[in-house]
Structure 1
Amino acid sequence: MVNFMSKIKNYFSANKRTRRIKDVPVPVQLGIYIERGEELVEELNRALSPHFQERMKYRFLQEHPNWQQHEFEWAFFELKRYFIMNKILKSVPMFSKEVDEVWHEMLMFTRDYEQFSKQFYHDMLHHTPNLDSKPIPGERGFFDWVYLSLFESTPNSRVLWGGFLKYPISQSILEDFKTFSEEELLTHYFRHNGEWMDLKRSLIKK
Structure 2
Amino acid sequence: MTFLYVVFAAIFGAFLVTIVKRQSEPAKLERYQKQFRQLHKETLDVDASEIVADALIERLNQALAYNYMERVNAEYRLKHPTGSQEKVNQVWRELKRYLIMAGVFGKVEMFNSAIDELWHIMLSHKQDYDEFCQTFIGMSILHHPLLQPVFKPEERTLFDFYYVQLFTVDSISIQTWGKFFKHDKGQTFLRDFETMELEQLKAKYMRKPTSKHAEMTFEHFTSQFKGNRPLANMNGRKIYNQTDYAAPAYFTYASTDDIDKDFTDIFGKDHNAASTHSHHGGDHSSSHDSTSDSSSSCSSCSSCSS
Normalising by structure 1, report the TM-score: 0.76
Kindly provide the amino acid, as one letter, of the partner of residue 147 in structure 1.
Answer: Y
- State whether residues 72 and 122 of structure 2, in contact with CA within 8 Å, keep that contact through their aligned partners in structure 1: yes
Matches of 1:179 and 1:39, distance apart in 2: 28
Tell me, in whole angstroms, the C-alpha distance in 2 between the residues paired with 1:124 and 1:194.
11
User: Quick check: 1:75–1:98 contact (8 Å CA) kept in 2?
Assistant: yes
In structure 1, the residue matched to 2:212 is 195
193-202 vs 106-115, which deviates more? 193-202
Distance of aligned partners of 1:147 and 1:54 in 2 relative to their CA distance in 1, 3 Å threshold: same
Matched position secondary structure for 2:140: coil
* Identical counterparts, % of pairs: 30
Give the secondary structure class of the aligned counterpart of 1:123: coil
Q: Indicate the residue corresponding to 1:86 in structure 2.
A: 102
More displaced, 159-168 or 38-47?
A: 159-168
The answer (yes or no) to whether the contact 1:52–1:112 under 8 Å persists in 2 is yes
SS in 2 for 1:107: helix
Matched residue, 1:132: 149
Task: List aligned pairs for 1:114-133, cutoff 5 A.
Answer: 114-129=130-145, 131-132=148-149
- Counting only pairs closer than 5 Å after superposition, residues 167-206 of structure 1 correspond to structure 2 as 167-169=183-185, 173-174=189-190, 176-177=192-193, 180-192=196-208, 193=210, 195-196=212-213, 197-205=215-223, 206=225
Instruction: State how 1:19-58 maps to structure 2 within 5 Å.
Output: 29-35=45-51, 37-58=53-74
Match of 2:122 among 83, 103, 106: 106
Aligned residues: 182
Answer with 114-123 or 171-180: which moved more.
171-180
More relative contact order in 1 or in 2 (CA 8 Å, sep 6+)? Answer: 2
1:150-178 deviation line (CA, Å, top 9, x unaligned): 11111011111122232325565456446
One-letter identity of the residue aligned with 2:149:
D
Q: Equivalent residue for 2:89?
A: 73
Q: Distance in 2 between matches of 1:185 and 1:36?
A: 17
For structure 1, list consecutive stretches of 5 or more residues without a partner in the other structure: 1-24
What is aligned with 1:63? 79
Task: Give, in whole Å, the separation in 2 of the partners of 1:99 and 1:44.
Answer: 17
Counterpart CA distance in 1 for 2:196 and 2:220 is 15
Q: Distance in 1 between matches of 2:160 and 2:187?
A: 15
Give the deviation of 1:92 after TM superposition. Answer: 0.8
Which sits farther off after the overlay, 175-184 or 68-77? 175-184
Q: CA RMSD in A?
A: 2.6
Structure 2 CA distance, aligned partners of 1:191 and 1:151? Answer: 19
Distance 1:146 1:170, change over 3 A: closer
Deviation larger for 195-204 or 78-87: 195-204
Range that drifts further, 193-202 or 158-167: 193-202
Cα drift, residue 79 of structure 1: 0.1
Gap change, CA 1:75 and 1:58, over 3 Å in 2: same
What TM-score, normalized by structure 2, do the two folds share? 0.53
Unaligned residue ranges in structure 2 (runs of 5+): 1-40, 226-306
Letter in structure 1 aligned against 2:212: E
Q: Match of 2:178?
A: 162
Q: Report the structure, 1 or 2, having the larger helix content.
A: 1
